[in-house]
Structure 1
């Protein structure tokens, strides 16, 4: 009897899942793969689908976002045409999908590697007057966490409100002792989709990968660097972590604060209001614009994938990309190949050392296709390169948290800053070329001679890449 009931429940559940995949599957190739897995691996296939396969774009976690952002005004005509309309379509795309318009009169400062970044962050935190908002994917115990605790304690004593969000999986190692101490001194702390058995199937695969700090609504930081001592001391077996971060001051900082407030509503159900402070004296940046682009699995469209795709397609002279996890879908592969075959100088800078061997195999599995189409690939040998940078034509650049893979586009909450800023683009280009000079360039005729063992590993990594 019980066997009959269990089999009946299994059949009904399987039918529901199959219908869900047919009706709501995001991509035909993935839908077919999940259907094959379910029928080939009874029970196991369903378990994997419940963990990793569901389409959040049809089951939104946040329904407040559009209402929060719908009142943000579009920039005036003079601002919109700062590049004579060249990037107006990209600005419109990002605005319609992420609801943030480009803004002018921002002050930008590039921060390279951990020591420089944390010096700037702690200086800004020390000068906080009203509130501090902090959000990180990885927040680990260590010297940085201890130093932050002491600073938080001092700022709370003078009335500064501190709110902290950490990702439940990315910061899984963060000790309960440290979290309890934060709460005891008055820090408001929430975990983003914490690891709980009841939520296991619905939340495990959807992570908040954003790194945001906003001080008093006017000074903000974002980029690839997490709260971890490995950015200062390196990591055993991997060496020093290299990364890029960005300090923003002005309207773009307020937009990053709105991204934080949206996530705060998700974790706490508390609707925060932007604080109104007297505007700081900012140097004009010649009316060149900055646009914050935030995306997640519950948005209608994969805005960060669309943003990268558009920047690549609009490149006329060059497109330079630094990213540790380049595991692109077909649209980005075609965009990169088309640009290179059309005469655009396309270069990829990737870490030679990897924090995850299987992911590294997946990244390398695309190299032959890229090299054959004329894309130049450089392997950075010194430690682990974790930056997420894109720069093109001395005109546009992107710094943020999104990798070039399906996880960042479909499953993670990410945020990037797009700079329509000529001087900043030239600065990033010079840094990119300097790093390339110290890297090892791959050659097509040499790469295709790699062993069958390496090819087999790459194929294995490519097959498993949708799970990363």
Structure 2
């Protein structure tokens, strides 16, 4: 047989292999439908049930912004006495990375159990020397989905979570990464804005479970006992449930949560997100909310403020449809706004690691905290209002007049939006 025949056969086999891998790894993407007329904060048990969780009461939540977050985090790590569990997507060697590493090293040398889970892609620049020093001090450092042949089918699945659990009784979650750009107070393009929350109360067990999921998957270790799951009494009156599961035969729970609350909103949906690329069903849901009289606003960085302008261009592709639906869009040009926040009706909030795009909703391992608390919603809306004052609102007529070069970038970028 000819070389052309064998080359064609090999190409066909490669195509079939890629198709099989895609078929195995893809998540089902049903068209979600909701019919309900109850306030969102009264439906917390339903939201938790739909997202495979349980509402936990008796919690406290404290908001930390920008670089000041790390002062609190490092002080609390230094106070840990039994265990430190640290999971993040993005860690780059630098001033901040070395500060965090030193804090973890000091605790490990003091006899504290220190487990560090880093995404192999996002943290590939953490620095071999830094990782080696942590391991030599007794920290257990593990990388999620390393580039190995046996990981071929999951290489596109990344651990995008940012969580820390201390002594099993205190937790942090949000968008902060371990990169020097997150230091400072969002004062310029070299200093990003972000939001994370500090948690006390029974919800900390849920965060510990989230960490355990990928830790056990990568290392096989199951940790038990009061050092990691101590008895936890009430620490406040806030109701929360953690959303993170990706069931094989349904939409990922983070996607279900966001779609459901959009459909339940009665007064207001305010979204702060750095990578806003809603799929058609989400655009329709936001448009339907506007038709119900809901004030829908989205605050995001502009291409000049974003750390990945291609993502923002991909989002631009659907701006016209969103604007025609009545959604108000604001772009912040001064620096990257990295907070991942949504508030609904001034009574409910989502805070976590999830971007508003297909990669976060369909592929990445993420965490969103669903929180019913008026005071927290007001605090997060205040952050929206602070940044929106210096943002540019996108007007439909002006947007339609943007140049052909801009439109070309938008449409080309959107072609690969699921992998951005």
Q: Does 1:95 align with 2:45?
A: no
Q: Which residue does the alignment assign to 1:399?
A: 351
TM-score of the superposed pair, with normalisation by structure 1: 0.81
Higher mean Cα deviation, 153-162 or 262-271? 153-162
Match of 1:442 among 379, 385, 394: 394
Q: How does 1:17-36 map to 2 (within 5 A)?
A: 20=20
Q: TM-score, normalised by structure 2?
A: 0.90
| Within-5 A mapping of 1:347-386 | 347-352=297-302, 353-386=305-338
**Structure 2: gaps of 5 or more residues:** 29-36
In structure 1, the partner of 2:32 is: none
One of 367, 375, 387 as aligned partner of 1:423: 375
What's the CA shift for 1:120? 1.3
- Conserved? CA contact 1:90–1:310, under 8 Å: no
**Does the 8 Å CA contact 1:391/1:397 hold for their aligned counterparts?**
yes
- Distance verdict in 2 for CA 1:163–1:241, change over 3 Å: same
The 8 Å contact of residues 238 and 355 in structure 1, kept in 2 or not, is answered as no
CA 1:191 to 1:54, structure 2 compared with 1: closer, same or farther past 3 Å? farther
Aligned to 2:147: 195
Quick check: which one's helix share is greater? 1
Matched, 1:213 2:182: no
Task: Please give the alpha-carbon distance, in whole angstroms, between the structure 1 residues aligned to 2:84 and 2:189.
Answer: 33
Q: Which whole-Å CA distance do the structure 1 matches of 2:194 and 2:40 have between them?
A: 30
Q: Which deviations, in whole Å up to 9, do the C-alpha atoms of 1:255-314 show, x marking residues without a partner?
A: 1011001111011011122534354672x32xx411111134857422111111111111
For each residue in 1:300-344, what CA deviation from the matched residue of structure 2 results, as whole angstroms up to 9, or x when unmatched?
Answer: 422111111111111111100001111111211111111113221
Secondary structure, counterpart of 1:321 in structure 2:
strand
How far does residue 110 in structure 1 lie from its aligned partner after superposition?
A: 0.6
Please name the residue that 1:293 is paired with: 243
Could you say if the C-alpha distance between residues 201 and 414 of structure 1 is closer, same or farther in structure 2, counting changes exceeding 3 Å?
same
Measured in 2, the distance between the counterparts of 1:93 and 1:235 equals: 34
Assess if the C-alpha contact under 8 Å between 1:206 and 1:297 holds in 2. Answer: no
Q: Which residue of 2 aligns with 1:67?
A: none
> What whole-Å deviation, never above 9, does each CA across 1:231-250 have from its counterpart, x for those lacking one?
11599994321011111111
CA–CA separation in structure 2 for the residues paired with 1:435 and 1:289: 27
Q: Which of residues 247, 253, 266 in structure 1 aligns to 2:204?
A: 253
Q: For each residue in 1:98-150, what CA deviation from the matched residue of structure 2 results, as whole angstroms up to 9, or x when unmatched? A: x321111101001111x221111112111101000000001111122222232
Please give the alpha-carbon distance, in whole angstroms, between the structure 1 residues aligned to 2:215 and 2:2: 45
Deviation of 1:151 after TM superposition, in Å, equals: 2.0
**SS class of match (1:413):** coil
In 1: Cα distance, 2:294 partner to 2:282 partner: 15
1:330 to 280, 288, 303: 280
Q: Could you tell me whether the CA contact under 8 Å between 2:53 and 2:242 is conserved in 1?
A: yes
Task: Tell me if the contact between 2:116 and 2:139 (Cα under 8 Å) persists in the aligned partners.
Answer: yes
Structure 2 CA distance, aligned partners of 1:218 and 1:396? 24
| Contact 1:378 1:441 survives alignment (8 Å) | yes
Q: How is 1:147-158 mapped onto 2 (pairs within 5 angstroms)?
A: 147-158=99-110
Gaps of 5+ in 1: 21-49, 60-82
Paired residues of 1:167 and 1:191 also in contact (CA < 8 A):
yes
Aligned residues: 407
Task: For 1:119 and 1:175, locate their aligned partners in 2 and report how far apart those are by CA, in whole Å.
Answer: 22
Give the CA deviation at 1:440.
1.4
Contact (CA 8 Å) 2:68, 2:185: kept in 1 or not? no
Q: Report which stretch shifted further, 220-229 or 435-444.
A: 435-444
Give me the whole-angstrom Cα distance separating, in 2, the residues matched to 1:170 and 1:234. 23
Who is 2:80 aligned against? 128
Cα 1:366–1:307 shift into 2, 3 Å: same
- Which deviations, in whole Å up to 9, do the C-alpha atoms of 1:73-98 show, x marking residues without a partner? xxxxxxxxxx987445553343354x
> Take 1:107 and 1:163, find their aligned partners in 2: how far apart are those partners?
25
SS in 2 for 1:320: strand
Q: Distance in 1 between matches of 2:179 and 2:17?
A: 43
Of 268, 278, 281, which aligns to 2:219?
Answer: 268
User: Distance between the aligned counterparts of 2:24 and 2:291, measured in 1?
Assistant: 34
Corresponding residue to 2:25 among 18, 41, 56: 56
Which residue does 1:432 correspond to in 2? 384
Distance in 2 separating the partners of 1:444 and 1:170? 36
